Amino acid sequence: MPFEDPNRDPRSIRNAATELSTAAPLPTHVPNDDEKSPYIFNFTKGLSHKLNGLLSSTADFEQFAAGTRVHDPDEFAKTPPYRGPFPGANLSGLPNTLSHYRRWESPTAGHAFVLQGPGPFAITMPPAPEVGSAEFGAEVAEVYQMALSRDWSVASFMDESLIDGLTGTHGKTLSDECRHSIKKDNKRVQHAAKRLSHMTWFKGTQDDGQEELIKSRRRHGKTQTASTMFRGEGEDDWATPFLSQFMVMGSGGGSRDLNERAKGFIRYGAQHIPQEVRVAQPERDYMTGWQEYLNVQNGLNARATLPSSGSDAEFVEGAYRPMARMRDIATYVHDDALYQAYLNAALIMLNEGYDLDPGIPYHGAATRKFPFPGAASGDNNRSPFALFGPPHLLTLVTEVSSRALKAVRLQKFSVHRRLRPEAAGALFHTVYSGYEPHWDDASSQPYGATGDSDEQTARQMLADTVAKYTFPQDPAVQGSEPVLEEILTDIREHNTAQNKGALKNSWLLPMAFPEGSPMHPAYGAGHATVAGACVTLLKAFFAMKIDHKPVYVVEPGGSALVPDCGKDPKDHKIDLLAVKIDNGLTLESELNKLMWNISNGRNIAGVHYYTDYIESALLGEAITIGILREQMLAYHPDEQVEMTVPLVVARTLPDALLSGQTQLTSNDVVTAVKIRSDGTLAAA
C-alpha cells in the first residue's frame, strides 16, 4: 500500500521553505569608493601588468568586472589573462607553457542559485575599509606585523600568567630552555602589541564615520595586548591560550582525559588522525623582491616552480608537528579542505559525548524524549542517527560550506573586488621607493614611464592616501601613523635578509605562500565565511549551555593544551604542554576561537585582512541560520524541534532571516537566536 500522510504535503512544505528564504526583498550590495581608474586599489591579479605594477590596460579590469556581474560564462571569457613571460622565474619543472599560469577561481559562482537557505544575493556585507582610512592603516600594519611574527611560538601569544603555569604532559617536564624561549618570544609579542596600539584605529581617535556595531566588532578603540593581539571575537573574557583546543587536542573519549587528548589523535571511526601539519621551511618568506612580486601578480604558478625536496623546497621533507609556530597555522590553512577543522571538531565532540541542544529530540539531554507506555522516567525507544544523529550532523557541516562559498564569491567578485594585502604592500613599497617600485639597488636610474597618464593619476592617488600614513606634509595631519613607518623599517630589514642582502630597499609584504593569495579578491574571505557557517552549525546542534550554565571543553581548574616551543623554529619534535585554566574554557568560546584561528591563519599568511574575517564570519553565520530555518519545516510538528544559537557578536539580523517574524525586526540587536519549529526566529 502506498505511503500516505494526509497532514504532511511535500509540495506545501517545499513552498513554505521557499517562502522563508525568498519573501524578503533583496538588499542593495554597496562597495566602498576605491574602484576608480587606474584601479590600483582593486584586485587585478592575473591581468597583465607593466613593470611599474600598473595595469597594461585599464580596459582589462573593466572587462574583468563586467564578467563578474553576470552569470553568462561567455562574458567572463572575454577577460584577457596575462600570457607573457616571467623574467627570472625557473619554469623548467613545469610540464608545459599553459601550466605556468594560474586561473581565476569560480568568478561567477555567486550567480548560481541555491535550493536551500538564502541565495547569494539575499545577504550582503558592509563596504570594506577604504585605502587611506584609519581602519585600513591598522589592518595593513597588522598584516605586516603578522609577517614579522610567523616564526614566533604560538605559546608566546598569551598572558604571562599562563606562560608561567605551563607544565609537561605524560609525566614530562618543561625544560628551562623551552620556557625561556617562550618568554623571549612573549617579550616580542608584547612589544608588537604595544606599538600596534598606537595606531589611530586602535586608539579610537578616528572612526571613519562607521556605525557603533561595526566599529565594535572591528576593534575600534581596543588596545592590543599579548593576550588579545591577532585574535578574533567571541572568546572567554579571561586569559586563554591562542589556539582553540580543537586545533590541538585529540579525542579524549567519554572521560575527556587530558593525557588521551594530549596524544593528539582525532578518532575517525576505526582510524585515528594526528593533529599535525607539514612543516614549512622556517624563516622562509616569498615575494619580497619586485620582479618576484610582479610575476605572481601576472599569474605565475609560483608554487609549482619549487622543487619537491631539498633546502629550496617549500616544506621540510617528511616533517610534521602540532601547530607550534604561527607559520604552522598559515601552513594548515594553505591546503586544508575548507570544512576540515569543523569536521574534526564535530568528531571530537561526538567522541567525547557532548550533549546536543536540548531542543533537539531523542537524545539524553533532550527536552522532548517521547517515552513509550510504561517507560521509566527519561526512557524512550529510539536513538538519533539518520535524524539528529552523527550522520545528520556531519553531513550538514560539509553541506553549509558549499552555500557559504557561493555567497562569498558574489561579494568577492561581483561587488567589492578588494585588493589583497600583497598588493597593499606594493602600494607602500611604491611610495617608499619614490614611486619607482621597480628601481632596485642594481639600477643606476629609474626606468619607469613617467609620461604615462595612468602613472601620474596613480601617483596622485597614492599621495592622497597611502603617503599620508607615513609621509604627511604636515606631521599633525589626521591619518598620520608613525608606528606604521616603524613597522615598515623592520620589514625592510626582514626583506633584505630574505634576499641575502641583494635587495636592500624592499617594503613589500613578505608572504608565507610562494604564490601569494588565491586567484580571487580579498573581501569577503572564503575560509572565514565557511568558518562562520560551520561553527554556527556546531553551536546550533550542540548545547552551549545546560540549565543556564556553560558547557566546558576544559572544566574550571582543569588543564588546557598548548604546543611546546621546540628548541628552535626548525625543530619539528613538538610535545603538547598543559596549563591550568582557573575559569576553564567554554565550548562556545573554543568554537568561536576555532573560527578565528582558521580565518586569521589566512591573515598570518598575508592573504587577508581582519575585516575579511569578521564580516565574512557573520555572512556564514547568517547562511547557516537560514538553512536551519528551512530544515525546521521538514520535521514533524509534534517533535517541536528548536535550536539555540549564540551569535559571534551582538548584531542586527539581515531581512532574509526575518520573514514571517512576529518578534524580531532588522533594527533589533541580538546576541543569540532561537530557531523555532516553524522556522521563525526569536531572541534567546
**Active site residue ranges:** 520, 527
User: Which of 29, 35, 112 shows the shortest CA–CA distance to 73?
Assistant: 112
Q: In whole angstroms, what is the distance from residue 536 CA to residue 43 CA?
A: 30
| Contact assessment for residue 370 and residue 566, using Cβ atoms and an 8 Å cutoff | no
User: Which of 230, 316, 329 shows the shortest CA–CA distance to 276?
Assistant: 329
Residue 267 has φ and ψ, to the nearest 5°, of: -80, 115
The three-state secondary structure class of 345 is helix
Q: In whole angstroms, what is the distance from residue 658 CA to residue 681 CA?
A: 7
Terminal alpha carbon distance of the chain: 44
Burial class (CB in 10 A: 0-12, 13-18, 19+), 679: buried
The C-alpha cell of 183 is what?
Answer: 618568554
Q: At what angle do helices 587-605 and 526-541 cross, to 10 degrees?
A: 170
Instruction: Show Cβ contacts of residue 461 under 8 Å, excluding neighbours closer than 6 positions.
Output: 36, 40, 41
Residue 587 has φ and ψ, to the nearest 5°, of: -65, -45
E strand map for 544-634: 545-546, 549-550, 552-554, 559-563, 576-580, 585-586
Give, as one character, the DSSP assignment of residue 396: H
Strand partners, 610: none
The C-alpha cell of 484 is what?
Answer: 606604521
Q: In whole angstroms, what is the distance from residue 129 CA to residue 424 CA?
A: 12
User: Which of 572, 563, 554, 555 shows the shortest CA–CA distance to 169?
Assistant: 563
Count CB neighbours of 345 within 10 A.
25
Q: In whole angstroms, what is the distance from residue 631 CA to residue 115 CA?
A: 12
Dihedral over Cα of 300, 301, 303, 307: its sign: negative
The C-alpha cell of 587 is what?
Answer: 565550548
Number of Cα atoms under 13 Å in the Cβ half of residue 276 = 19
Q: In whole angstroms, what is the distance from residue 515 CA to residue 678 CA?
A: 48
Q: At what angle do helices 610-632 and 587-605 cross, to 10 degrees?
A: 140
Task: Characterize the bridge pairing of strands 559-563 and 271-274.
Answer: unpaired
Residue 369 has φ and ψ, to the nearest 5°, of: -115, -15
* CA angle centred on 669, ends 668 and 671, rounded to 5°: 135
| Contact assessment for residue 607 and residue 513, using Cβ atoms and an 8 Å cutoff | yes
Q: In whole angstroms, what is the distance from residue 44 CA to residue 60 CA?
A: 9
Burial class (CB in 10 A: 0-12, 13-18, 19+), 131: buried
| Contact assessment for residue 156 and residue 163, using Cβ atoms and an 8 Å cutoff | yes
The C-alpha cell of 260 is what?
Answer: 588521551
| Contact assessment for residue 408 and residue 619, using Cβ atoms and an 8 Å cutoff | yes
Count CB neighbours of 416 within 10 A.
26
| Contact assessment for residue 439 and residue 450, using Cβ atoms and an 8 Å cutoff | no
